[in-house]
Structure 1
Amino acid sequence: MKKAGLLFLSSSLLACSAHATTRVSTATGAVEGVTEASGVTAYKGIPYAAAPVGKLRWQAPQPAAKWKGTRKADHFGARCMQLPLFSDMVFRSDGVSEDCLFLNVWTPAKSAREKLPVLVYFYGGGFAAGDGSEPRYDGESMAAKGIVTLTVNYRLNVFGFLAHPELTRESPHHASGNYGLMDQAAALQWVKKNIAAFGGDPSRVTIAGESAGSFSVSAQMINPQAKGLIAGAIGESGSLLGLMAPAPLAAAEQAGATFAQGIGAPTLKELRALPADKLLDDLKKPGAWFFAIQDGYVIPKSPVAMYAAGEQAKVPLLAGWNSYEGHYKQILGDAEPTGENFAAALQKLYGDQAGAAQQAYSGDVKQAATELASDRFIGYGTWKWIDSHARTSGKPTWRYYYTRPRPGQEGANHSVEIEYAMGNLPLNKVYAWAAEDYALSKQMQDYFANFIKTGNPNGAGLPEWPQASAGAGSRLMQLDATSKAITATDDAHYQFQESQAKR
């Protein structure tokens, strides 16, 4: 009997101990997470700011209200208002709502004393869609590598990026738009205040993202609100330094006023009174897509100029893009990929510069047109960011070129590398992953994990990844079934695109 009692007491103490380790106190209240089979504890749906509703719609994020007792952090919060735009997005979140400023934390730490490196990942989706609950961004696999990993929800499209003359007038900073970027910075402030309680080191925070998430990383590196909060940066496909510069505030205000007029709510009072679903529905109108802008506050000046002047965060940067970011038909339309058709397409695009374009994008027509489409979309902007940072930051910069297609696909399309880098191939059941895919995923995740921990992707058992350099002849890592360090072969592309950007 005594023995049974001792066993019961012992198991009860163990249960209490296990329970205690999943409860964490934050500045706004206690949260209780769920420990996964891997030993990683997940805390989902933690509010990092107040719900941006009512008068707080189109305001900078405000502090989250404190709560009493312990909040169950066992499911994802709502995703931010968005239309179903991208077929590859899979959500595990609790519906769609304006009340969406939640973050998720996965930690391997067993105590608050561990001071582990931290990764904060911003999702992609053109600043119009995406969510921190998407399986491809799941943080458990990266956390198992010894990294406290977070995904962050931020406001999107008209809810996150509307500029309007009345909004500018009411702002103490005489700016409007970029609320989604302010949300991200508020999440980084939350990390600074709270991540130690989850076993993270607030002085070792790497920010990362793909597509609009990568644009966001390039933005936070020049956002005064994020100053001093970033120790490293990872960008997958995209930056604000591309061919389409962020619109200046005045132009964005005009676009916002025109949109408001077009939906029958020309004043700010009327706009704020609109139900969120109605406002979302109005985004179905042609041309209704709101994006990051040069507002003079969050993005103080031209991103190209700020990076050229060395005004960005002086931190290690790892960035790159994929081989099939675009498609040759974006250049050729339905025309066959022949030399004659390519020359005609270049003439239409570039006029008297068509010859220079042909020289820069030579060789196999289908491949050249694919590379041109990729560069026009996102390749050039990513290259420009890497090149500028290597030139002015004084910190190590690492460049990659990702060329592994998913099984059954022709090339490495936009966004396909995410689940490889984050170690989440098993969560995507659509593809029949081969051993080579899992091997590449392990390698790529190890590179990323090493970078997050040390600012250098290199480590034992990995092919040596050389640092990038500014100008022609940069070294980089080609990531594929057999990864290898190479010297850039596409300098002519970016010399041509630079000439176009300056026109």
Structure 2
Amino acid sequence: MNQLFSAALAACLLAAPAIAQSVQAPAGTVQGSGGDVRIFKGIPYAQPPVGTMRWKPPAELPPWQGVRKATSFGPACVQPRPRTPGIYTNPPERTSEDCLTLNIWAPQNAKAAPVFVWIHGGALVGGYSHEPMYDGARMAARGGAVVVSINYRLGILGYLAHPELSKESAEGVSGNYGLLDQIAALRWVQRNIAAFGGDPGNVTIAGESAGALSVMYLMASPLARGLFHKAIAQSAYMITTPELKQGRFGLPSAEAAGTQVMTALGARDLAGLRAMNAEELTATAAGKGYGPWAAIDGKVLTRQLVETWDRGEQAPVPMIAGFNSGEIRSLRILLPPAPADAATYAQAIRLRYGDLSEHFLRLYPPGNVAESMLAATRDALYGWTSTRLAIGQTAIGQPGYLYLFDHGYPAANEAGLHAFHASELPYVFGTADALPAYWPKIPGSVAERRLSTAMMDYWLAFARTGTPAAEGAPVWQPYGPEANYMAFAQAPKPGTKLFPGMFALHEAAVCRRRAAGDQPWNWNTGIISPVLAKSAGCR
């Protein structure tokens, strides 16, 4: 009952009349609003990447003079408008290339408070920092943390690599602009967050889906080292990343992909691309099949994520990593075409997985092909990645905390969306009252509020101390040799050895694909997998 009282008290505090709040930071003086939680919206952290700045690293913004109003969210970064409504449809009101802003929620009397920096998801194509579900007010009110959410460039504007861009770069590289934006935001936090009551020596980066992919990129990037001290990756996917200059693992080089999309867009050169309207450019590139990914350029990213973790070169910080049991229920576009029947399914698995096929069929049996395909695709993308992250931090002497979100509620379960991708977000932020229009509505029951309170407390305690803990909830042990994890179903429940055999199977498959050298991993699992040849050093 104490937890429920605290949540109710926080809600009352957040409903208090807003008053002007001013902070004098090294970047300049900003005026926000709020009461016990001060809110500062749309603070620029770098110069706008427009005109000749398009497809350049973010440039530091000189301190401004006077008082900057920070009472309205800045525009989202340019992104395609949704064509059809869906569960994740929640388009921003405004978009612009002038979008490199961040938002801060800070307790009134915060001093050396932990800092929680949120990186939104959206496949590096969409999303924005002020989506209502990411509102940081309840986290700030409950846990005394300073919550920050950031925008970063998306789509072709955020990740285009091209030989012309590499040539005009002093370092001979291109792409990764959205990732460089995230690094610039973290540098801004280091310089300025103390003025808002945050501790620059206690920063946690956190993100979900593409935000969690970004967390891994930041953990791997030498340019981000020392800018954060803990990491949370929710539904991360350790996919193959294009290399800047050469094709590898079945992917074209990032520069070749950029050259291809320039041709498809009908532009003769970089000047032609820069002259295009940002919205038209972004939407047309997406329609032509351009997919934004980071690039291994030897500067921002030095090697494949799997190689970074194999070598123990990732950031040596405590980490929470986890995934949802129903990830693919809302991402069926990631599923292979359904086989004709169970026999066809089993035959395809035996052909492709060879000596690993019986292991595969034990985990994902032909008795219920639909459910097996959902689980196999989930595990190849998210389950394998989350477990690998926990194992990787453990191997370098850092605590890694693994979780499984397995919570369902009536509206989601009735829609066939038990524990779907991103469904943990309103529980972590305490924003069940701020869901997108097509999101299954969460009941306002005591049980739902208790689960949200527990998850928020675990996340906040981790941000404070590096150890997730919640009052009246089970102890969450680090992964360690016992392979510990925490399941969030109707309530938190600890366990060991999540989905026995799952990680070993997908690790073996990835190892063989890496050894073959001509195929990516993760996207081509199950009945569409290439034939996995035995290879020395792989199971």
Aligned equivalent of 1:380, options 361, 384, 401: 384
Check conservation: 2:432, 2:442, Cα contact below 8 A: no
Aligned residue identity for 1:142:
M
RMSD over aligned CA atoms reads 2.3
Structure-1 residue corresponding to 2:454: 443
Unaligned regions of 5+ residues in structure 1, if any?
Answer: 1-17
Aligned AA (2:140) = A
**Cα distance between partner residues in 2 of 1:168 and 1:88:** 38
Q: Which residue does 1:484 correspond to in 2?
A: 493
Q: Shift in Å at residue 332 of structure 1?
A: 6.6
> CA–CA distance in 2 between the matches of 1:273 and 1:66?
29
Give the CA deviation at 1:182: 0.4
**Deviation, structure 1 residue 92:** 8.5
Within 5 Å, give how 1:165-176 maps onto structure 2. Answer: 165-176=163-174
Alignment match of 1:121 (pick from 118, 121, 126): 118
Instruction: Name 2:477's counterpart in structure 1.
Output: 466
Other-structure match for 2:328: 326
Give the percent of matched residue pairs that are identical in Structure 1 and Structure 2.
36
Measured after TM superposition, the shift of residue 333 of structure 1 is: 3.9
Structure 2: distance between partners of 1:122 and 1:179: 15
- SS for the counterpart of 1:183 is helix
Write the mapping of 1:168-187 to structure 2, written as runs, cut at 5 A. 168-187=166-185
Give deviations 1:393-435, integer Å, cap 9, x for gaps. x111111000002432231111100110111112227514133
Contact 1:75 1:93 in 2 (8 A): no
1: distance between equivalents of 2:337 and 2:93?
40
Deviations 1:99-158 (A, max 9, x none): 1000000000336xx110000000000000010010111110111120000100000010
- The aligned amino acid for 1:246 is T
Alignment of 1:86-485 (within 5 A): 87-89=86-88, 95-110=94-109, 114-144=111-141, 145-239=143-237, 242=238, 244-250=239-245, 251-327=253-329, 331=335, 333-334=337-338, 339-344=342-347, 346-347=349-350, 350=353, 353-362=356-365, 365=368, 366-392=370-396, 394-410=397-413, 411-428=418-435, 431-433=441-443, 434-469=445-480, 473-485=482-494
- Deviation for aligned residue 1:295: 2.0
CA–CA distance in structure 2, aligned partners of residues 482 and 68 of structure 1: 50
Q: Secondary structure at the match of 1:249?
A: coil
Over 3 Å counting, the alpha-carbon distance change for 1:482 and 1:341 in structure 2 is farther
Counterpart check, 1:494 vs 2:503: yes
Listed one character per residue, the Cα deviations across residues 31-74 of structure 1 (whole Å, up to 9, x for unaligned) are 101105xx201000000000001111111100124332211111
Q: CA deviation at 1:480?
A: 1.4
* Counterpart residue identity of residue 285, structure 1: G
Question: Residues 119 and 150 of structure 1 are in contact (CA less than 8 Å); yes or no, is this contact kept in structure 2?
Answer: yes
Higher RCO (Cα < 8 Å, 6 or more apart)? 2
| In structure 1, distance between residues paired with 2:87 and 2:187 | 31
Name the count of aligned residue pairs. 474
374-383 or 400-409, which deviates more = 374-383
Q: Which residue identity does 2:346 align to in structure 1? A: A
The more displaced of 281-290 and 134-143 is 281-290
SS of equivalent residue, structure 2 residue 40: strand
Could you say what secondary structure the match of 2:116 adopts? strand
Question: How has the CA–CA distance of structure 1 residues 170 and 212 changed in structure 2, closer, same or farther, with 3 Å as cutoff?
Answer: same
Distance apart, 1:331 and its partner CA? 5.0
Q: Which residue does 2:7 correspond to in 1? A: none
CA shift, 1:342, in A, is 3.6
Determine the C-alpha separation between the residues in 1 that align with 2:315 and 2:160: 26
Q: In structure 2, what is the Cα distance between the partners aligned to 1:23 and 1:281?
A: 39
Q: Which amino acid aligns with 1:208?
A: A
**Could you tell me how far 1:164 is from its partner in structure 2?**
0.5
Residue range with higher mean Cα deviation, 244-253 or 373-382 = 373-382
Distance 2:480 2:364 in 1: 22
Letter in 2 for 1:494: F
Cα offsets for 1:293-322 (capped at 9, x unmatched)? 222211112221222222111111011000
1:158-197, CA deviations, whole angstroms, 9 ceiling, x for partnerless residues? 0101110111122222221111110001000000000000
Secondary structure at 1:166 match in 2: helix
Report the CA distance shift for 1:46/1:332 in structure 2 as closer, same or farther (over 3 A).
closer
What's the offset of the Cα at 1:498? 1.1
Distance, in Å, in 2 between the alignment partners of 1:196 and 1:448 is 21
**d(CA) in 1 for partners of 2:286, 2:178:** 20
Separation in 2, partners of 1:19, 1:384: 46
1:339, distance to aligned residue in structure 2 (A):
4.0
